[in-house]
Structure 1
Amino acid sequence: MRFSGKSAMLALGLLMSTVLPAFAEAVILRDVTGRDVEVNVPVKHVILGEGRQIYFLAALDKENPFEHVVGWRDDLPKADPESYAAYLAKYPEVAKLPTFGGMKDGTFNIEQAVALKPDVILMNIDAKTATEEAGYIEKLAKVGIPLVYVDFREKPMENTEPSMRIMGKLMGKEQVAEDFISFRADAIKQVTDVLEKSNPKRPVVFVERAGGYSDDCCMSFGNENFGKMVELAGGTNMAKNIIPGTFGTVNPEQVIASNPDQVIITGGMWEGYMPGGDWVGVGYGADITEAHRKLENLTKRPAFTGIKAVSDGNVHAIWHQFYNNPYQFVAIQQIAKWLHPDLFEDLDPEATFKELHARFLPLDYKPGYFVSLKDQ
């Protein structure tokens, strides 16, 4: 029996449909807020509700993390200009990506988002209230666009692993996500196992969030994010009983009265936000000599008058963006090394970060993420 060309193609199509799986599969994902969301995976077109979500998307796709990104929020060039420049140099098409404002400040353009026909919109959990008040989930659902929440900021020590698994499922990179989660867990255990065995005295640590970004002092962290990282690294977070949530402020008098043994200031290259500010410019390939100078200058503020950390030289700066990506385990290692230098003499956070880049990330590693007054 002979087939015409058209009949043969039809027969082949029917055969292929019976032996090959569909390219996309409808699954129900539970996001970090507990919402069940139906998504066709793997997604081919995604909108990042925050530009810094590229930190964890990059950990899942070493070859081209931007391949399926059709739009993103416009925060990365100002919040982390060095990383943005590095990604732009490697992936020039990034310059043409449509950008959005934020949900929280009311500048997200839902009509623009719908026009890009994404398979999913990823949103950080801190935008949940604004998203719901604007009715965006319902509006997007009417045109078949699901919205999924992830979290690397509000409760990162609780939500990083489920967020990475959500991302892995969405992008068809489940095994890479599991490999990353194992790498992260092992890096943290290198700290917590030693502390559990030795049970050292815990120094009191004041973490100042974005010190020098403004004249005000002092933003800090409660019992999450950098506050929790300090506890995992063998310290006592000074502000954990002062700040009820993840973020908040303490006044200068509280810092002086607490007399912390160690001070850690988060910093970044924020020229785009606060030109000429006193912030400590640590980050990808940062000038550590200049960062050291600015760190020392911050110790002269009234809040640090006479405190033990300053007199002992135990004042340090660390990349602020560790608070907002899945690489927090590097920060935990570095903080542990600052707090307990004898216990962690052989621990090498730089080597851990280099291995992370070599195994998972598309960028070559460049140092510059940490500085201490004890550094030469």
Structure 2
Amino acid sequence: MDKNVRITGAIVSLCFIFLSPTGYAEETTLPSDTVTIVDGTGESVDVSRPVMRIVSITSRTSEIICALDAGERIVGRDSYSIFPKSLEDVPVVAGSSYTPNVELILGLEPDLVIADSMLSDDYRQRIEDAGIPVIVETSWDPAAVATVVSHLGIVLDEEDRAGEIIGFIEQYHDIVEERCADLEEEDKPVVFFEWSQPYHSGASGTLFHNLTVASGGINVVGDEPAKYPTGSPEWLAKRDPDIILRLVSSTEDLTVEMMEEARDEILSRPGLSSVKAVEDDRAHILSSPVTTGVRSIIGELYLAKWFHPDFFEDIDPEEVHEELIQELFGQKLEGVYVYP
């Protein structure tokens, strides 16, 4: 019997231990039909099981739920939850966690709503006031997503499957970590990771910083006081990064032409012609799905190979991506996710 299941007479209770955002273990004992999750915001959320109706308004979580073989429980989604394809038949009730339609969400009578950190406190309160628990997760890079997978595995009673997913992610994350562990600072490329709009990036503590550092790079804006700084051509030229990365998101499948256009726009920007990354033609485009959630390990592998090709000659990120899609979703990999 699982050591986290306690039986006393006719009373059954579950005891779960989670790591809080501060890193300390928190123990919660509740009746067997209820579990408590300490989410990414530090809130303790009581969830009654079984959870059969879920509104997921973040694509990262939608993918995890489907990988946990529980995709049929999603009854509402955000506009970015387009993988796997079966989600296209699910009603859209939010543009993203930032713009939920609370009335539509409540009308679906979900057992649980899952969002990311873009969900405002006001929207969260309105949903919770209707008696619906809300879990907000905030960490999506490979080192942290295991916690999210574990949480959802418990909530959905799919803990064994969650363990398989975590094992897949950690297998490759450990390879990157081991091979980058002894790098000297001078051997790490200086990287500018752009997203949302030109010259907009993420400082220490953000997904962009964590992915860059985990892959053996130096985030050129890592020490900026603003969490998400926005600069200018002169600002970036002064920092002179070795590599420029650009994250692109879309509510439809991306094409090679779309990614090529995004890369050409970067390389042709006024004021950047003397930047090392532009001179050396080291600009890469990534789509959002391979930088967050269960597929963030794919982004980490691509970054590691771009940063240190000699260390990762034996790793083909596309092959690993194909393996992941087959193992977690039972499908073949389709679409374009990086360029070039």
Identify the TM-score tier after normalising by the shorter chain.
0.7 to 0.9
Query: Which of these residues, 153, 158, 171, is aligned with residue 168 of structure 1?
Result: 153
Q: Relative contact order (alpha carbons < 8 A, sep ≥ 6): 1 or 2 greater?
A: 1
Q: Partner of 1:368: helix, strand, or coil?
A: coil
1:234 partner amino acid: G
Query: Which of these residues, 188, 198, 202, is aligned with residue 188 of structure 2?
Result: 202
2:106 partner amino acid: V
Distance 1:317 1:371 in 2: 5
Distance 1:149 1:183 in 2: 24
Cα distance change, pair 308–263 in 1 and its aligned pair in 2 (3 A):
same
Q: Partner of 2:71: helix, strand, or coil?
A: coil
Cα distance change, pair 44–138 in 1 and its aligned pair in 2 (3 A):
closer
1:120 partner amino acid: L
Distance 1:191 1:347 in 2: 10
Aligned counterpart, 1:147: 134
Q: CA deviation at 1:177?
A: 1.1
Q: Which moved more, 1:253-262 or 1:196-205?
A: 196-205
Q: How does 1:227-266 map to 2 (within 5 A)?
A: 227-242=209-224, 244-245=226-227, 247-266=228-247
2:230 partner amino acid: T
Higher strand share: 2
Does structure 2 retain, via aligned residues, the 8 Å contact 1:222–1:248? yes
Q: How does 1:8-47 map to 2 (within 5 A)?
A: 25-47=33-55
In the alignment, is residue 183 of structure 1 matched against residue 160 of structure 2? no
- Deviation by residue 1:112-139 (Cα, 9 ceiling, x = unmatched): 333322111112233143435xx32541
Does structure 1 retain, via aligned residues, the 8 Å contact 2:54–2:112? yes
Q: CA deviation at 1:194?
A: 0.9
1:255 partner amino acid: L
In the alignment, is residue 298 of structure 1 matched against residue 292 of structure 2? no
Aligned counterpart, 1:71: 76
Q: CA deviation at 1:146?
A: 1.6
Q: CA deviation at 1:355?
A: 1.2
Normalised TM-score (structure 2)? 0.81
State percent identity of aligned pairs.
Answer: 21
Aligned counterpart, 2:123: 131
In the alignment, is residue 342 of structure 1 matched against residue 310 of structure 2? yes
Does structure 1 retain, via aligned residues, the 8 Å contact 2:183–2:216? no
Aligned counterpart, 2:113: 121
2:47 partner amino acid: V
CA RMSD of aligned residues (A): 2.8
Aligned counterpart, 1:104: 98
Does structure 2 retain, via aligned residues, the 8 Å contact 1:157–1:225? no
Distance 2:96 2:80 in 1: 9
Cα distance change, pair 337–51 in 1 and its aligned pair in 2 (3 A):
closer
1:344 partner amino acid: F
- Deviation by residue 1:76-111 (Cα, 9 ceiling, x = unmatched): 4xxxxxxx3x644xx3x8435352455634x5224x
Which structure 1 residue ranges, 5 or more long, are not aligned? 1-17, 77-83, 273-283
Which structure 2 residue ranges, 5 or more long, are not aligned? 1-9, 14-31
Q: CA deviation at 1:269?
A: 4.7
Aligned counterpart, 1:49: 57
Cα distance change, pair 197–131 in 1 and its aligned pair in 2 (3 A):
same
Q: CA deviation at 1:300?
A: 0.8
- Deviation by residue 1:140-182 (Cα, 9 ceiling, x = unmatched): 23xxx222222345xx456422211111112221111121112
2:110 partner amino acid: P
- Deviation by residue 1:219-252 (Cα, 9 ceiling, x = unmatched): 111122122111111111111112532x331222
1:27 partner amino acid: V
- Deviation by residue 1:281-319 (Cα, 9 ceiling, x = unmatched): xxx6x5436633541342111252311111111111111
Does structure 1 retain, via aligned residues, the 8 Å contact 2:142–2:297? no
Aligned counterpart, 2:296: 328
Aligned counterpart, 2:4: none
2:242 partner amino acid: D
Distance 2:335 2:98 in 1: 33
Cα distance change, pair 98–244 in 1 and its aligned pair in 2 (3 A):
closer
Cα distance change, pair 291–39 in 1 and its aligned pair in 2 (3 A):
closer
- Deviation by residue 1:327-354 (Cα, 9 ceiling, x = unmatched): 1111111111111111211121112111
Cα distance change, pair 201–151 in 1 and its aligned pair in 2 (3 A):
same
Higher helix share: 1
Structure showing greater Rg: 1
* Count of aligned positions: 310
In the alignment, is residue 193 of structure 1 matched against residue 178 of structure 2? yes
